[in-house]
Amino acid sequence: MADRKSLVLRAAAGGFWLVDTAQTGRPYRAPLRLNETGAEIFRALQRGETPADIARAIALREGIDEETALTDVEEFCAALDQMTD
């Protein structure tokens, strides 16, 4: 897992944006636009919740199976790691 401490969540333009504040600008990495669920996952990760716990909560709320939710959360985590590589 990459160091995600440099990632900052901001609300703007009707959505959420994840910005890597440690990047040098070369090459430039654009902020990642998130929906409400993406912002929720990011906040939960910041609180130290595990992907499995986050997936369980999303599955209960959205009425989807936990395995699907976990796959989605893990893919989100992989995208975060790519942002900070």
Does residue 36 belong to any structural domain of this protein?
Answer: yes
pTM over 0.75: yes
Please say whether the dihedral angle defined by the alpha carbons of residues 15, 11, 68 and 72, taken in this order, is positive or negative.
positive
Domain count, the chain: 1
pLDDT in tens, 12-60: 988 999 998 887 778 888 899 999 999 999 999 999 999 999 999 999 9
Give pLDDT tens digits for 68-80.
999 999 999 999 9
In the chain the beta strands, taken as DSSP E runs, fall at 7-12, 15-20, 32-34
In a domain, 52, yes or no: yes
For residues 83 and 5, give the distance between their C-alpha atoms in angstroms, rounded to a whole number: 12
Instruction: Evaluate whether residue 1 is within a structural domain.
Output: no
Q: What is the pLDDT of residue 3?
A: 66
Q: Could you tell me the residue range of the domain that residue 15 belongs to?
A: 7-83
Judged against a pLDDT cut of 60, whether residue 2 lies above it is answered with no
List CB contacts of 47: < 8 A, sequence separation 6 or more.
none
Q: Looking at the domain assignment, is residue 2 inside a domain?
A: no
What distance in Å separates the CA atoms of residue 53 and residue 58, rounded to the nearest whole number?
9
Does the residue 62 lie in any domain?
Answer: yes
